[in-house]
Structure 1
Amino acid sequence: MMDDSGAILREALSWARKGRKVALATVVSTWGSSPRAAGSRLAVDEDGHMIGSVSGGCVEGEVLANAEDVMRTGRPALLEFGVSDGTAWSLGLACGGRIEILVEKFRDRPEFNQIVEQLDRGEETAALVALDSGERRLVEGDTQFDEASQSLVAAALARGVETALDGPAGKFFLEFWRPPLSLIIVGAVHIAQALAPIAAAAGYRVALVDPRPAFATPQRFPGVALHTEWPEDFFARIRPDSRCAMVALTHEPRIDDAALIAVLRSPAFYIGALGSRGSAEKRRERLRAKGCSEAELARIHGPVGLCIGAASPPEIAIAIAAEMTAVLRQAQAQSLGSAAE
């Protein structure tokens, strides 16, 4: 199961609406080398059905044991594991870090339904969770806090990352519920066949666009949403958002250029295009002639992928997925487009 908080929330709501007891575990803070980032979630019901993850598998057993007590008593538990913790060591958390996990009883509450509605509209939601009670308060444009808390929340919202906050009213966790990442691949080529499952495993919803039906077939791309239309028609219907990446892979200007022009004028977080440095320069010349600005052209990662010496289609797909991740997480990494000749 991909790391999709929306899917975890929907499944937990489904269990709760069937009358089952449910617990929700959330990573609220980490130190050092931790297996999962803050905001990672796991839901479990009284029958042991589970979705999501809060570690690499090393502390899940202890979390599930505490979840049974939380479901029974309704009282939240704040768990901390680290290498100095004998239990965590025996369970495998020996990577030198610590992790803090809030386990709360999950109920079908209005705030969760509002989060689902906003996810369905492609919108993200922020909420403050009190670590002592599990009370959740959605953060909206008109939400008011005391002056000290207001500045803390505003700074955390600006960073856009899940954060534990120690304010005047107690300890809170600022969480985000975001729509899943998406990847639009233009070109049903061999690299795309390797890239699609890699991206899906990393949590992306993958769509493939190629006006050549002989290439874009379910046999070559099982489980991928296929669109056998020209990119200009596809992007007339679909506007990429800030959670979207697009990679143009056909090497055919009639197909790739239209896709690039459409996506360069969107808030997509990553735009890549296959080709050598020479073909990348020719592409920039064509796109300039079609009205693309220098700022827009600078958004294209081309040659696409990180500089890892990739040669085969699967290796190139790995390099592309790695560069997408580096851009998403704002990590410093050398791309092929910036590597020395």
Structure 2
Amino acid sequence: MTHEFEHIINFYSNSVEKKLSCVLATIVELKGSSYRKPGVRMLFREDGLQLGAISGGCVEKDVWNYSKDIFKTGKSKTISYDGRYRLGCEGIIYILIEPLNIEESDIDQIKRFLFKRKDFKIDSYYVLSDDLRIQPQGSVIHFDNKTVYFNKNIINLDSNSLLLKFSNTLRPKIKLVIIGTEHDASHLCACGKILGWEIIVVGSPNSSKTIENFPDADDFKLINSENFKELEIDKLTSVVLMSHNYAYDLKNFMELSKYELFYLGILGNKKRKNRLIEDSINFNIELKEKFLNSVHSPAGIDINAITPQEIATSIVSQILYESRKNKKNVK
């Protein structure tokens, strides 16, 4: 959900420039099951524009109607929807609706922080009551030892013992590094972009391709493996080798063994993976167990994929699974 929050901040920043007010809706509690879970957010602007979704389309219209009152009163409200009777789901969702009023300087700090690829936390304070006298309700974001309130009415949130708190820790977006510039790489770019990932395409310095060949990429680099530091690989970085050139893949494989990444996919069969490992050892490259455990070949889950689009779908599915395996609240 980090990419959704990033979109909300950018949309809100644009709205501030246009002097248009916004209201933020957050699912803060769920009893039973629902299409979307606590922590999901949606923005409503006074001119009717909306960003995001907090359901499959069942509740947004009603939340917009509640938002109209929030625009007028400036007071937050928590509403509930019983999906067992109204939405077709098997649960009750509680939605905090609050005016969004972040200082421009704080907006800029949040934007800059999101580029740092660090965890951050959002606390939402609410009550399961329709009594508007129970104030304040609202959300606070914590990052880099800094606290930013989503609206001016909630500075003393912790002092109100009647309030409940939903805490949501968000991790950086998954970074997908695609090493290879053939046509199938563009399909993998597109799949990753839909999921809100940060996409970097890497090619050989003598490649004739440009970023125009990969419109869904956030960055495009023609570099040798010796310059992989430019990729800023971290623990939430996934890499896919798909150059269709064994010698090029081998150089990159050996260099990547120095980094701590959670996923390395190799396009091709298991023989290609075994050959890469054997040749790396012959070059006296130390391959640690943790690195080898991150290697997946052939890349992607087995869905009998045939087309480049299907193969790309299987790869991003495997990356997503590996990023969330044995973890909670990974976004």
Contact 2:84 2:91 in 1 (8 A): no
Distance 1:121 1:212, change over 3 A: closer
- What TM-score results when the alignment is normalised by the length of structure 2? 0.79
1:24 paired residue number: 24
CA RMSD of aligned residues (A): 2.9
Displacement of 1:55:
1.8
Distance in 1, matches of 2:81 and 2:300, equals: 37
Displacement of 1:216:
3.0
Kindly indicate whether residue 134 of structure 2 is the aligned counterpart of residue 134 of structure 1: no
Task: State the one-letter code of the partner of 1:38.
Answer: P
Percent identity over paired residues: 25
More displaced, 201-210 or 4-13? 4-13
Distance in 2, matches of 1:54 and 1:101, equals: 9
Distance in 1, matches of 2:162 and 2:144, equals: 20
Per-residue CA shift, 1:8-67, capped at 9, x if unaligned? Answer: 113213323543221011222334442223222211211112222212222111111111
| 2:232 aligned residue (239, 253, 273) | 239
Distance in 2, matches of 1:238 and 1:141, equals: 23
Aligned pairs, how many?
301
Kindly indicate whether residue 319 of structure 2 is the aligned counterpart of residue 306 of structure 1: no
Kindly indicate whether residue 201 of structure 2 is the aligned counterpart of residue 208 of structure 1: yes
Distance in 1, matches of 2:39 and 2:186, equals: 31
Displacement of 1:137:
4.2
Task: State the one-letter code of the partner of 2:34.
Answer: S
1:80 paired residue number: 80
Distance in 2, matches of 1:17 and 1:261, equals: 48
Distance 1:141 1:237, change over 3 A: closer
- What TM-score results when the alignment is normalised by the length of structure 1? 0.77
Per-residue CA shift, 1:78-121, capped at 9, x if unaligned? Answer: 22223234xxx3xxx31434432211100024765543332133
SS of structure 2 residue aligned to 1:4: helix
Distance in 1, matches of 2:50 and 2:255, equals: 40
2:133 paired residue number: none
| 2:184 aligned residue (180, 191, 202) | 191
Distance 1:209 1:117, change over 3 A: closer
Distance in 2, matches of 1:56 and 1:73, equals: 28
Distance in 2, matches of 1:115 and 1:228, equals: 31
Contact 1:269 1:328 in 2 (8 A): yes
Task: State the one-letter code of the partner of 1:104.
Answer: E
Contact 2:238 2:264 in 1 (8 A): yes
Task: State the one-letter code of the partner of 1:237.
Answer: E
Alignment of 1:211-222 (within 5 A): 211=204, 216-218=209-211, 220-222=213-215
Task: State the one-letter code of the partner of 1:231.
Answer: S
Displacement of 1:187:
0.8
Kindly indicate whether residue 95 of structure 2 is the aligned counterpart of residue 105 of structure 1: no
Displacement of 1:323:
0.5
Q: Which runs of 5+ in 2 are unaligned?
A: 128-135, 147-159
Displacement of 1:283:
1.4
More displaced, 301-310 or 13-22? 13-22
Contact 2:190 2:216 in 1 (8 A): no
Contact 2:76 2:138 in 1 (8 A): no
Distance in 2, matches of 1:264 and 1:52, equals: 38
| 1:277 aligned residue (270, 273, 279) | 270
SS of structure 1 residue aligned to 2:291: helix
2:130 paired residue number: none
Kindly indicate whether residue 318 of structure 2 is the aligned counterpart of residue 323 of structure 1: yes
Task: State the one-letter code of the partner of 1:68.
Answer: K
SS of structure 1 residue aligned to 2:191: helix
Kindly indicate whether residue 254 of structure 2 is the aligned counterpart of residue 294 of structure 1: no
1:339 paired residue number: none
More displaced, 205-214 or 133-142? 133-142
Alignment of 1:130-169 (within 5 A): 130-132=125-127, 133-139=136-142
Distance 1:55 1:236, change over 3 A: same
SS of structure 1 residue aligned to 2:79: strand
Task: State the one-letter code of the partner of 1:239.
Answer: E
Distance in 2, matches of 1:37 and 1:263, equals: 36
Displacement of 1:134:
3.1
SS of structure 2 residue aligned to 1:25: strand
| 2:245 aligned residue (252, 256, 268) | 252
Distance in 2, matches of 1:283 and 1:226, equals: 25
